[in-house]
Structure 1
Amino acid sequence: MTLVERLSELNNRGITKSDMARIANVTPQSVNGWFKKGVISKKSAIAVAEAAGVSVAWLLGEDVEEGSGLGDDEMKLLNLYRQLPESERQKMIDTFELRLKEIDEYVEKYLRGRFKKE
């Protein structure tokens, strides 16, 4: 999906181009530009998404859940996290943080070694 397709979908749900202009505090010509060029400012995207009850990521055409803006893997992780007992949740966060630190250190070490050789 693209921004234009998502804007059109909102339009089909009853949010007119005039509504979008008013919501984003822009001219109707600007909104027509969104539909023609497929480009929207960050400020306008946030305003329209908030008013429509959708995520900015969804509005911009990403393959994410409409309301939350989460992808399938993110939703899966969140659902698994929510099934954990409260006492285990922080342990999982700590594990993710540790693993991310390990990956960062590995990449940094790799890049240092790579650029030394050149």
Structure 2
Amino acid sequence: MLKDTIIYRIIGQTSAKDKLIRKNPDLFSEDLDFSALRYIPYTEDTAQFKMATGYVDRNGVRVRVFEIVAPNTRFFADIYDDYKPYIKNLRIDALIVGSLTEPTLSGNWK
């Protein structure tokens, strides 16, 4: 065999959903619909998170990045009318996780 030859075998496969349900049965039920995760909670599936992925070159390494955004008007939809003055005075106008320009998992919450 040559030095640069790599041999690997797939012994078994399991879906990510099955693994999540098996390891965290109190968080994920059997009937969990993962396609519903794109909707902002308490908006009755009318508002979706804005999601994007990409790559950033950092120190000669190509890093995968993602960003998920929920505008405050949608994220606080169920209480927006009651707390409108407070929500409008927030320093930021959206809840953001990740970044498309920096390889980070940080959010913008304080």
Does TM-score exceed 0.5, indicating one fold?
no
Q: Taking structure 1 as the reference length, what is the TM-score of the superposition?
A: 0.22
Higher strand share: 2
Higher helix share: 1
